[in-house]
Structure 1
Amino acid sequence: MVCIPCIVIPVLLWVYKRFLEPFLYPFISPIINTFWTKKAVQENGTSDQKVSEKSNGTCKAEGNGEVTANGSTTATDKKTD
C-alpha cells in the first residue's frame, strides 16, 4: 500500500510544473537570481589534454576476462574444483 504523501506530493509537483510555474516564474525569478548569482564552473581543458597526451588510445583489460582494444581476451584467475 502506498502512503498518501507518496501520491499527493508528485501530483502537486506535476500541477505546479505544468500549470502554475509558467505564470509564477516571471515574478519569482528576480528573487531567485539574487540568491543564485554564481556562474557555473567551467573547466579549462588542461587536465583532459594531459590525459590524452599520456594515453595512446588502447584499452587494457583489468584481469577479469574483458576484451581488449585489439580483440584478444585475457585469462581469468578463477579457482577450479
Structure 2
Amino acid sequence: MVCIPCIVIPVLLWVYKRFLEPIIYPVISPFINAFWNKKAVTDTSTPQKGAEKSNGTYKAESNGEGTANGVTIAADKKAD
C-alpha cells in the first residue's frame, strides 16, 4: 500500500508546475534574481598556447586535443 504523502506530494508538484508556476513565476522572478544574481564560477586565468603547468606537463591547446582536466590526448595519425 502506498502512503498518502507519496501520492499527494507528486500530484501537488505537478499541479504547481503545470498551472500555478506560469502565473506566480513572473511575479516572484525579480525577487529571485535580486538574491541569486551570481554567475557561475569560471576560470579567469587564461594560459597562453603551450604554457607549462606547475607540475611540468603542458596544458592542452584549444584545438580539441585535450580533455577538461588538461591532459593531452595524442591524435592517432598514420605516417605514410
Q: Which amino acid aligns with 1:21?
A: E
Q: Deviations over 1:60-79 (max 9, x none)?
A: xxxxxxxxxxxxxxxxxxxx
Question: Which residue is 1:18 aligned to?
Answer: 18
Question: Which residue is 1:6 aligned to?
Answer: 6
Please give the alpha-carbon distance, in whole angstroms, between the structure 2 residues aligned to 1:13 and 1:57.
49
Number of residues paired by the alignment?
A: 58
Please give the alpha-carbon distance, in whole angstroms, between the structure 2 residues aligned to 1:48 and 1:2.
53
Give the TM-score, by structure 2 length.
Answer: 0.55
Q: Secondary structure at the match of 2:13?
A: helix
Question: Which residue is 1:54 aligned to?
Answer: 72
The answer for unaligned runs of 5 or more in structure 1 is: 59-81
Please give the alpha-carbon distance, in whole angstroms, between the structure 1 residues aligned to 2:12 and 2:38.
30
Describe the shift of the 1:29–1:54 C-alpha distance in structure 2 as closer, same or farther (beyond 3 A).
Answer: same
Describe the shift of the 1:32–1:48 C-alpha distance in structure 2 as closer, same or farther (beyond 3 A).
Answer: farther
The answer for unaligned runs of 5 or more in structure 2 is: 48-58
Please give the alpha-carbon distance, in whole angstroms, between the structure 2 residues aligned to 1:20 and 1:30.
17
Identity of aligned residues (%): 60
Q: Secondary structure at the match of 1:54?
A: coil
Which structure's CA Rg is the greater one?
Answer: 1
